[in-house]
Structure 1
Amino acid sequence: MNWLIIKNDFKRNKVINLALLLFIIFSASLAVLSVIVAMQTFTSISALYEKAQPPHFLQMHKGEINEEEINQFMSNYEAVTYWQTVAMINIHGENLTVKGNEEAYNLSDSRLGIGFVKQNESKDLLLNNKHEKVILNKGEIGIPVLLKEIYDMKIGDDVILNYNNNQEKFIIKEFILDSQMNSPMVSSTRILLSNEDFDILKDKAGENEYLVEAYFSNPKDAKDFQTSYENQGLPQSGQAVTYAMIFLLSALTDITTLFVLLLVSMILIIVSFICIKFTIMAALEEEIGEIGTMKAIGLSFDDISDIYLNKYKILAMFGVIIGYILALSTSGIFTNHISTTFGNMSILPITIISSLFVGLIIFLLINYYCKRVLKKIKKITVVDALVRGKGFDKEKSYIKDGLYKSKKLAVNSLMAIREVFYKFKNWIIVCTVVSVAVLMIMIPFNLMNTFEAPEFITYMGSSREDILIQVENGEQLETNYKKVMQLLESDNTIESYYEYKRVRIQTTNSAGELMNIHVDSGYNSGNDLKYISGNSPDGENEIAISYLNANEMEKSTGDKILLFYNEKEKEVVISGIYQDVTSGGYTAKSKYDFSEVASENYSFSVNLKDNIEILKVADYWTEIIGPGETIGPMEEFLNQTLGGVVNQLRNIVFIIILLGSCLVMLITFLFLKLRLAKDLSEIAILKAIGFSERDIKKQYLIKTGYISAIGVLVGIILTNALGEKVISLALSISGLGVKHVELTINSLVQYIMLPSLLLSLILLTAYIVLRDVKKYNIISIINE
Structure 2
Amino acid sequence: MNLKMLKNDFKRNRAGNVSLLLFMTLAAGLVVVATIVVTQLITSMTGMYKTAKPPHFLQMHKGGINQEAIDEFNSSYDGITAWQTLSMIDVYGDDLKVYGNDVFSLSDCRLDISLVKQNKEYDFLLDEDRNIINVNKGEIGIPVILLDSYDINLGDTVVLTSNGVTKKFKVTAFVHDAQMNSTLCSSTRMLISDEDFKELFGNVGENEYLIEVYFKDSSMASDYRTAYEKAGLPQNGQAVTYTVIFLLSAFRDIAMAMVLILVSMLLVMVALMCIKYTVMAALEEEIGEIGTMKAIGISYEDIRNLYLVKYKMMVAAGITIGYVLALMISNVFTGHVSNTFGKQSVSILTMGLPVAACALVYLITNHYCKKILKKIKKVTVVDALVTGKGFGKKERVKDGLYKSKTISVNLLVSIRETFHNFGGFVIVFVVMFIVSGIMIVPMNILNTMESKEFISYMGSSMDDILIEIDSGENLENKYVIINKLLKEDADIEEYKEFRSVRVETVSSEDKWMNLHVDCGNYAGKELKYLVGTAPSMEDEIALSKLNADEMGKNAGDSIILRFMDRQKEFVISGIYQDVTSGGYTAKAIYSFAGVDAEKYQFTINLAGGVDAGKKASQWSDKLGGGYDIEPMEEFINQTLGGVSRQVKVATTAVLVVGILLAALIVVLFMKLRLAKDVAQIAAMKAIGFTNSDVRKQYLYKIGMVSIAGIFAGTLMSNIFGEGIVSVALSTTQLGISRITFIINPWITFVIIPLVLLAVAAGMTWISTRQIREYNIISLINE
TM-score range relative to shorter protein: over 0.9
Match of 2:453 among 443, 452, 455: 455
TM-score, normalised to structure 1, is: 0.99
- Residues 221-263 of structure 1, C-alpha deviations (whole Å, 9 max, x = no match): 1101100111111111100000000000001111111111110
Match of 1:209 in 2: 208
- Aligned match of 1:652: 650
Query: What letter matches 2:555 in structure 1?
Result: T
Q: Is residue 43–residue 344 contact of structure 2 (8 Å, CA) maintained in 1? A: no
**In structure 2, how many angstroms separate the alpha carbons of the residues matched to 1:553 and 1:507?**
9
Q: Which residue of 2 aligns with 1:178?
A: 177
- Equivalent of residue 693 in structure 2, options 681, 695, 702: 695
Q: Scaled by the length of structure 2, what TM-score is found? A: 0.99
Q: Which amino acid aligns with 1:532?
A: L
Using the alignment, how far apart are the partners of 2:184 and 2:387 within structure 1? 70
Letter in 2 for 1:627: G
Any idea what the Cα deviations from partners look like across 1:664-684, whole Å, max 9, x if unmatched?
000000001100111111111
Q: What are structure 2's unaligned runs of at least 5 residues?
A: none
Match of 2:346 in 1: 347
How far residue 2 of structure 1 moved from its aligned partner, in angstroms, is: 3.8
Partner of 1:435: 433
Deviation track 1:393-439 (CA, whole Å, cap 9, x = no partner) reads 1x322222222123322111111111111110000100100110011
Out of 626, 646, 669, the position equivalent to 1:628 is 626
SS of 2:530's equivalent in the other structure is strand
CA distance in 2, matches of 1:229, 1:3: 72
User: What are the equivalent positions in structure 2 for 1:112-261 lying under 5 Å apart?
Assistant: 112-261=111-260
How much has 1:166 moved relative to structure 2? 2.6
1:615 corresponds in structure 2 to: 613
CA–CA distance in structure 2, aligned partners of residues 616 and 568 of structure 1: 46
Counterpart Cα distance in 2 of 1:326 and 1:709 = 33
Could you say which residue in structure 1 is the equivalent of 2:675? Answer: 677
Please show how residues 349-388 of structure 1 align to structure 2 within 5 Å.
349-388=348-387
Matched, 1:29 2:50: no
User: Are 1:640 and 2:644 matched, yes or no?
Assistant: no
Q: For residue 92 of structure 2, what is the amino acid of its counterpart? A: H
The answer as to 2:90 corresponding to 1:108 is no
User: Which residue is 2:593 aligned to?
Assistant: 595
Q: 457, 473, 476: which is aligned to 1:475?
A: 473
What are the within-5 Å matches in structure 2 for residues 233-632 of structure 1? 233-393=232-392, 395-632=393-630
**Partner AA of 1:478 in structure 2:** E
Asked if the contact 1:6/1:307 (under 8 Å) is kept, the reply is no
Q: Tell me if the contact between 1:531 and 1:577 (Cα under 8 Å) persists in the aligned partners.
A: yes
Secondary structure of 1:734's aligned partner: coil
How far 1:346 sits from its partner (Å)?
Answer: 2.8
Q: Deviations over 1:489-540 (max 9, x none)?
A: 0000111100000000000011111011100000000111100010000110
What is the one-letter code of the residue matched to 1:16?
G
Tell me the CA shift for residue 64 of structure 1.
1.5
Counterpart in the other structure of 1:42? 42
1:75 is aligned to 2:75: yes
C-alpha separation between the residues in 2 aligned to 1:2 and 1:317?
Answer: 14
- 1:665-744 matched pairs, under 5 angstroms: 665-744=663-742
Deviations 1:709-762 (A, max 9, x none): 111101101101210011100111110111110011110001111111111111
3-state SS of paired residue (2:149): helix
Shift of 1:81: 1.2
CA contact (8 A) 1:543 1:590 kept: yes
Match of 2:301, SS state, is helix
How far off its partner does 1:165 sit?
A: 2.6
How far apart are 1:36 and its partner, in Å? Answer: 1.3
| Counterpart contact for 1:504–1:519, Cα < 8 Å | yes
Structure 1 gaps, min length 5: none
CA-atom RMSD in angstroms: 0.9
Instruction: State the Cα distance separating 1:300 from its structure 2 match.
Output: 0.9
> Which amino acid counterpart does residue 95 of structure 1 have in structure 2?
D
Which portions of structure 1, spanning 4 or more consecutive aligned residues, are displaced by more than 6 angstroms?
none
Q: Aligned residue for 1:85?
A: 85
Displacement after TM superposition at 1:38 (Å): 1.0
Mapped to 2, the partners of 1:71 and 1:363 lie a distance apart of 58
Residue by residue, what CA displacement relative to the aligned partner does 1:170-194 show, whole Å, maximum 9, x if unpaired?
A: 0001001111100111110000000
Q: Secondary structure at the match of 1:291?
A: helix
Query: Do 2:110 and 2:638's aligned partners in 1 also have CA atoms closer than 8 Å?
Result: yes
SS at match of 1:82: strand
Corresponding position of 1:60 = 60
- Partners of 2:156 and 2:709 in 1: how far apart? 55
More divergent stretch after superposition (197-206 vs 144-153)? 144-153
SS at match of 1:222: helix
Secondary structure of the 1:740 match is coil
Cα gap change, 1:2/1:40 in structure 2, threshold over 3 Å: closer, same or farther? closer
Superposition deviation, residue 347 in structure 1: 2.6
Deviates more, 1:606-615 or 1:320-329: 320-329
Is this contact kept in 2: 1:148–1:175, CA < 8 A?
no
CA drift of 1:384 comes to: 1.3
Secondary structure at the aligned position of 1:254 is classed as helix
Q: 8 Å contact 2:315–2:362 — kept in the other structure?
A: yes
Deviates more, 1:574-583 or 1:62-71: 62-71
Paired with 1:346 and 1:218, the residues of 2 have a C-alpha distance of 27
Task: Pick from 732, 754, 759 the counterpart of residue 756 of structure 1.
Answer: 754
- Taking the aligned partners of 2:240 and 2:2, their CA distance within structure 1 comes to 65
What is the SS of the residue equivalent to 1:151?
coil
In structure 2, C-alpha distance between the alignment counterparts of 1:3 and 1:205, rounded to whole Å:
76
Q: CA deviation at 1:385?
A: 1.2
Which segment drifts farther, 449-458 or 384-393?
Answer: 384-393
On the 8 A contact 1:40/1:347 being kept in 2, the answer is no
- Please report how far the alpha carbon of residue 594 of structure 1 lies from its aligned counterpart in structure 2 after TM superposition: 0.6
Q: For residues 572-631 of structure 1, give each alpha carbon's deviation from its aligned partner in whole angstroms, at most 9, with x where no partner exists.
A: 100000000110111000000111100000000101111111111111111111111000
Q: Is the 8 A contact 1:89 1:207 kept in 2?
A: yes
Give 1:280 deviation, angstroms: 0.2
1:279 Cα offset (Å): 0.2
2:712, 2:307 → 1: CA distance? 35
